Amino acid sequence: MEDSLPLFAFQSLQFTNAGRIIFAREKDGHNHLYSIAMEGGTPQLLTPGNFDVEDVVLSADKRSILYTSNQNDIDRRHIWRVGATGSEPEALTRGETIEWSPVETSDGKTLLCLGSTATSPAMPYRVTSSGRNLIAKNMLPAEFPEAQLVTPKQVVFKSEDGLEIHGQLFTPKNQKQRGPALIFTHGGPIRQMMLGFHYMQYYHNAYAMNQYLASKGYTVLSVNYRLGIMYGRAFREPPKSVWRGASEYQDVVAGAKFLQKLDNVDPQRIGLWGGSYGGFLTAMGLARNSDLFKAGGDFRGVHDWASSYQCGPGRVRQRTPRLRRTSKKLASSPSNHRRSQASRIGGPPCC
């Protein structure tokens, strides 16, 4: 089980021009790249360390691998290169930026990517030896309020059971007294929020929403609760989680208690918001801890587990006879038909 293909590593299988096949595995509990000879043999670990690999593409000559990871920068993404036959991985981007979707031009001379920062949205870049250069400088509207945005702070706090949880703290500018605060819980739940504009469209917008809330005087804590990616397999697949007991909810509560201790937060004015699985956790907060959470915004939360088990990885994988009968009834109902139609138009319900 620990050596199976990671759920989110569908891009990793690559055939090189160096007589090697590239693939991902989680043998050590993290999503890493391995190389194996085409005729077979012992796999070679290419990306050792306490981090996870995400995007994986071949270079133009198909003799090296371009990939993104959170190596040395756990709550961001940067681009790396490693030889197909093994070499020391080389960081191609670094610093307080985020990069993804690398691609090399056919002549192998230019590396392009998409990138963002804490205050600038996704844009195309050319990667150079000294950093990255913006390609389409006029694409961003002149009125984009970059100067008004805040740079979220990386925070780490402990949940009730001692597990370390990462988050991004958005603090309003020029705040002079204690004010309201919000917890943001992402959907998925196999996602990771970062210290800048996200690579997924939905979370790119959610990040912008948290910036907007900060501009209106709300302190916002985006919580990367257990079940998320990029902190290892044990973090992504914890015991007693989801429908088995929602152990991840204690991370949301820990985030609220973290906010209560901040000098700029009114401990009696904390709420939460989120969509999909984040909506589910929002509703759970209001139901279980109305003493702690005074308000919440539940965007299309996944509450009907009998019908949403087939939503994606991490959901219920086996149906009992009773669940099968219940699901059949739900599938034939008019309300479920409307919900299915809406999902096709607006994207998958588990974003």
Q: What is the pLDDT of residue 304?
A: 81
- The tens place of each residue's pLDDT in the chain, 351 residues long, gives 566 666 555 678 899 999 999 999 999 999 999 999 999 999 999 999 999 999 999 999 999 999 999 999 999 999 999 999 999 999 999 999 999 999 999 999 999 999 999 999 999 999 998 889 999 888 889 899 999 999 999 999 999 999 999 999 999 998 989 999 999 999 999 999 999 999 999 999 999 999 999 999 999 999 999 999 999 999 999 999 998 899 999 999 999 999 999 999 999 999 999 999 999 999 999 999 999 999 999 998 988 877 655 554 444 444 444 444 444 443 433 333 333 333 322 333 356
> Where are the domain boundaries for CATH 2.120.10.30 in the chain?
14-134
How many Å apart are CA 201 and CA 204, to the nearest integer? 5
How many Å apart are CA 173 and CA 150, to the nearest integer? 7
149-303 — its CATH code? Answer: 3.40.50.1820
CATH topology of domain 14-134: Neuraminidase (2.120.10)
Q: What is the pLDDT of residue 338?
A: 31
Do residues 296 and 272 make contact, with C-beta atoms less than 8 angstroms apart? yes
> Where are the domain boundaries for CATH 3.40.50.1820 in the chain?
149-303
Q: What is the pLDDT of residue 11?
A: 75
> Looking at beta carbons, which pairs linking 54-59 to residues 24 or more positions away fall under 8 Å?
54/8, 54/100, 54/229, 54/230, 55/11, 55/100, 55/101, 55/102, 56/9, 56/11, 56/12, 56/14, 56/22, 56/24, 57/11, 57/14, 57/102, 57/103, 57/104, 58/14, 58/16, 58/22, 59/104, 59/108
Sheet of 78-83, strands arranged across: 53-58, 64-69, 78-83, 90-91
Q: Which residues pair with 133 in a beta bridge?
A: 126
How many Å apart are CA 68 and CA 54, to the nearest integer? 5
Distance (Å) of CA 66 to CA 69, 77, 110, 208:
10, 13, 13, 29
Whole-model pTM: value is: 0.86
Q: What is the pLDDT of residue 127?
A: 97
CB half-sphere exposure, 25, CA atoms < 13 A: 16
